Amino acid sequence: MQWQTLDSTPSLLPLYWRAALKRKITGSTLPEHGLRCRVSVNPRAIAAYRKVCGFADSPMLPATYPHILAFGLQMQLLTDKAFPFPLLGLIHLSNRIRIHRPLGGVGDLSVGVYAHDLRPHAKGATFEIVTVVEDALGLLWEAESQMLCRGVKLDGEAVDNTLQVPGPTIELTRWKAPADIGRRYARVSGDYNPIHLSAPTAKLFGFPQAIAHGLWNKARTLAALGEHLPVANIEIEVEFKKPVRLPGEVVLMSSAAGSSGELELNGTGDIQHMLGKWRPIA
């Protein structure tokens, strides 16, 4: 792995232009370099993120917040000329985070991103975007997001890695996903994908109405689980199923059981939006 170190987090506007202009698959191998830079944690930005995602005030960073710190680097990686797939149209299948140590007293961090694990899928090909966050003591937090690019032809057999349906769960809580949550989450995350912003922009990409960001669904869920989850030595994995159409209402089902447990996010008519589990890091 070759690391390219940037002086600062990339500016998003030029990267959105780059994403809009690239519509074709240009290859079938992933670049062998990653991007990294130093970032400073901004308390006002964290407060705005907490409000949109439902996290209570705490000396700890929200478990999903490092995604926000890494977003510019991810955008730069995915819109680079060397990256073979167009960013618009990628489908977020799953996300796993590992919190190695408590996310308290966090200031200056090193954030790195790279892509790996390209493999065939029944509908194209999948790959993982890996994010690593380090502080002065070493690895603090890491994540893998599995993405699907339709229409890619790769040799080999597609492997089904879907999560199993959770065991017995009970309703923990429910909440409404308001019509403007995609725009509100975009303002705190930088993720202005048109499918999340409004019905007219979502229709351009084949959706009848706007859908909630997958990582907002995960963040809102972890905010609701709050006290049930350990603050460190935890791996939290979710698989995104049917999108949450906006506006909508969802029900969080969970086994809510300390160091390990399972969760399910459902919509009306038993639509399954997200499946997940958490456990100690192996």
> What tens digit of pLDDT does each residue of 108-129 get?
999 999 999 999 999 999 999 9
| Last residue in a domain, options 146, 161, 176 | 161
Half-sphere exposure of 208 (CA within 13 A, CB side): 4
Look over the chain and give the mean of its residue pLDDT values, rounded to a whole number: 93
Looking at residue 256, its pLDDT comes to 66
Are 2 and 119 in a shared domain? yes
Are 23 and 140 in a shared domain? yes
- pLDDT tens for 187-220 read 999 999 999 999 999 998 889 999 999 999 999 9
Are 87 and 195 in a shared domain? no
168 CA to centre of own chain: 26
| Last residue in a domain, options 102, 137, 161 | 161
Are 178 and 153 in a shared domain? no
Contact 201, 194 (CB under 8 A): yes
Show the beta-strand stretches assigned E in 6-71: 33-40
Are 169 and 116 in a shared domain? no
200 CA to centre of own chain: 24
Q: What is the DSSP letter of 152?
A: -
Number of neighbours of residue 201 by Cβ within 10 angstroms: 16
Q: Which helix (H) or strand (E) holds 5?
A: strand 2-5
Whether the bond between 178 and the residue before it is cis, its omega within 30 degrees of 0, is: no
Are 147 and 186 in a shared domain? no
Q: What is the CATH number of the domain that holds 62?
A: 3.10.129.10
Are 114 and 11 in a shared domain? yes
| Last residue in a domain, options 144, 161, 178 | 161
- pLDDT tens for 41-61 read 999 999 999 999 999 999 999
Query: What residue numbers bound the domain in which 267 lies?
Result: 163-282
Looking at residue 153, its pLDDT comes to 86
Counting every residue, how long is the chain? 282
**What does the alpha-carbon distance between residue 18 and residue 79 come to, in Å, rounded to a whole number?**
6
Q: What is the tally of structural domains in the chain?
A: 2
Tokens of 26: 């240009």
**What does the alpha-carbon distance between residue 119 and residue 240 come to, in Å, rounded to a whole number?**
19
Are 114 and 219 in a shared domain? no
Query: Quick one: pLDDT band at residue 40, thresholds 50, 70, 90?
Result: very high
82-93 average pLDDT score: 93
Are 144 and 258 in a shared domain? no
Contacts of 25 (CB under 8 A, 6+ apart): 84, 85, 86, 149, 151, 152
In the predicted structure, residue 162 carries a pLDDT above the cut 80: no
Are 8 and 103 in a shared domain? yes
Are 170 and 248 in a shared domain? yes
